[in-house]
Structure 1
Amino acid sequence: MNDEKSIEEILDTIGDQHARQVLAAISRESQSAKELAEECDMSLPTVYRRIEMLTEYELVTARTLVADDGNHYKVYESNFESTVISLEDDEYKVRIYREENLPDRFSQLWDELNPD
């Protein structure tokens, strides 16, 4: 997210009430769009629009499962641990911390502590 427009767009996305409801629901457990619609009391099209928005910023991932009857369906899950929004040098910065980034963050911290 290097340009301001991307920062504004992600702030708008996570600022959306419906998107936050979807994120909260899938942070507890993976759910299908139908389950999300029921839990969040939203229409299915609203859920799909929010999932599309959140997927654009890699905040949500999808897995395809096979039902007992052989039909395929997707479940959605949160793809991040936390988001930090900061104001540095008169500029907003958005950092999204993902679980898979932990080793990279540790390596970066280690390199910063050992400049040799």
Structure 2
Amino acid sequence: MNGEGAAGPSELFEVLADEYARDILVAADRRPMTAKALSDACDASLTTVYRRIALLEEHGLVKKHRSVGPGGTHRSKFETTLEGLHVDLSDGELSLSVETRDELADSFTSLWEDMRGDG
């Protein structure tokens, strides 16, 4: 994903400038966490966590995993997908590219297939 797609660099910078959004990214990078666990880890209300998660999901920086617990209860855990953020200033243009874990996994799979001759 590059910063010029669905979200321009200024939008992405704005998302990452938010302290709660950054805290959620860091906490959910350690392990997938429920909104309640993120609320505790980030010292934020559940409402704040859900708003930031929605924003982070919109920009492809967080992924939701759903599971069914005992008694059929549904539980969602959130995991950071952000792997790298690259800013380039060249010829008076600011560009931003974002690497996600999914993109890295796809790249590795493509490389492996090419090496095996499957591609």
Same fold (TM over 0.5): yes
Deviation readout 1:60-103 (Å, 9 max, x if unpaired): 01011112121102100011211112212212111111233235
Deviation readout 1:2-34 (Å, 9 max, x if unpaired): 27x721111000111110000000000000101
Could you list the runs of 5+ residues in structure 2 that have no partner in the other structure?
111-119
Aligned with residue 74 of structure 2, among 60, 72, 75: 72
- TM-score with structure 2 setting the length: 0.80
Aligned with residue 20 of structure 1, among 15, 19, 22: 22
Deviates more, 1:95-104 or 1:8-17: 95-104
- In structure 1, the residue matched to 2:48 is 46
For the pair 1:10 / 2:12, whether they are aligned, the reply is yes
Cα drift, residue 104 of structure 1: 3.6
Count of aligned pairs between the two proteins:
107
1:37 counterpart letter in structure 2: S
Return the alpha-carbon distance in structure 2 between the equivalents of residues 99 and 63 of structure 1.
15
Identity of matched residues, %: 32
Return the alpha-carbon distance in structure 2 between the equivalents of residues 88 and 53 of structure 1.
28
1:46 counterpart letter in structure 2: T
2:40 counterpart letter in structure 1: E
- In structure 2, the residue matched to 1:95 is 97
Aligned with residue 36 of structure 1, among 32, 38, 44: 38
1:52 counterpart letter in structure 2: A
SS of residue paired to 2:12: helix
Return the alpha-carbon distance in structure 1 between the equivalents of residues 71 and 43 of structure 2.
27
2:91 counterpart letter in structure 1: D
- In structure 2, the residue matched to 1:112 is none
Question: What is the RMSD of the two structures over their aligned residues, measured on CA atoms?
Answer: 2.2
